[in-house]
Homo-oligomer: A and B are copies of this chain.
Amino acid sequence: MTSSNSDRPHRLNEFAMIAKYFAPLSKGAAGAAGLTDDVATLNVPAGHEMVAKVDAVVEGVHFLRHDPASLVASKALRVNLSDLAAKGATPIGYLLSLSLASWADDDWIAQFAEGLREDQNHFGVDLLGGDTTSTPGPVTISITALGSILAGTTVRRAGAQPGDLVFVTGSIGDAGAGLAVLKGEGTDLPASERETLIRRYRVPEPRLAVGRLLPGLASASLDVSDGLIADLGHIAETSAVRLVVEAARVPLSSAVRALWGDGIDGIVRCVTVGDDYEIAFTAPAQARSRIADVAARSRIPVTEIGTVEAGQGVTLLDRGEPVPINRPGYTHF
């Protein structure tokens, strides 16, 4: 773990900070060398290949200064593990690139590290290495997740074939609804349902237990981060097919139904809000019963929501009629 210059003596110096908060997170990984070396080394099991993914979260874009630091850490790690999950990979560990604003004091860093520690235990991963620097701007956290997978079995976005079925794990729209609640919607909802939705927004649940069963079964797969329709659109584009989703089959939680209702407007909101971190995938029709087994073994719901056809794009059907979608997911720059 290395660090860069700053003039602000408002917290432990960076070597002390690394030793106190971050080195303990690397103890399970011999190749991390206790964060006292320039690089991390890691072994890839024979016959396997490395899988790597980086994602940044930025204060003011992905989280707010006063959000609980442990949850910020958790989300930063989990959004990356979710990508590995969707591909069928097994996470090994991660590298942390942490750009600290002057407001981020020892308390914030301690809570941030605690969030990482809890998730490391939960997911069986270790901090392998990293870099800390000061920044005149917002706290910026970039996590690189590293994992392994049996060589050649990674489930890609390309691979969906006409005749395949479309599936999704868990429920869709909860995280977006949680953000809406944080912004002031749903004041008439019971506190428990509001909390459920907010939790889904703040702490994604990477579907590793499903993902590891997908190689050899799914024809295409990804994690839903931008919005179900937008992300299925990525599969449609890279696979050069059309995906048709039946609105009534999209799995919705009771909490999101309480907030946005059972009607098509509520469903459209759910399939376009993003931040779900569920796995959406396609598979041949003959895999249907094996996918039911996956759901049973992983104890995570897996719902069949549509079909793959020749053509392009994603169509959402409401009682047989296409529903116009103005905005399939996040507006990007």
Partner-B contacts on A (CB < 8 A)? 2-11, 13-15, 31, 33, 36-44, 46, 49-62, 83-84, 86-87, 89, 95-97, 99-100, 128-131, 133-138, 140, 142, 144, 146, 149, 151, 154, 156-158, 222-223, 225, 234, 237-238, 330-333
Contact = CB atoms under 8 A, between A and B. Distances in A.
Nearest to A96: B54
Contacts of A15: 332
Contacts of A9: 333
A58 B99 contact: yes
B38 A331 contact: no
B53 A129 contact: yes
Given A53-B129, A54-B131, A332 B36 contact: no
A136 B137 contact: yes
Contact of A4 (B146, B223, B237, B332): B332
A159 B266 CA distance: 62
B135 A137 contact: yes
A95 B52 contact: yes
Given A6-B332, A49-B44, A97-B56, A89 B39 contact: yes
Nearest to A86: B38
B136 A52 contact: no
Contact of A56 (B41, B142, B238): B142
Nearest to A17: B333
A146 B8 CA distance: 32
Given A5-B332, A142-B97, A51 B41 contact: yes
B36 A333 contact: no
A114 B307 CA distance: 42
Contact of A49 (B43, B156, B332): B43
B31 A49 contact: yes
A129 B14 CA distance: 29
Given A36-B158, A95-B144, A97-B55, A136 B138 contact: yes
Contacts of A238: 36-37
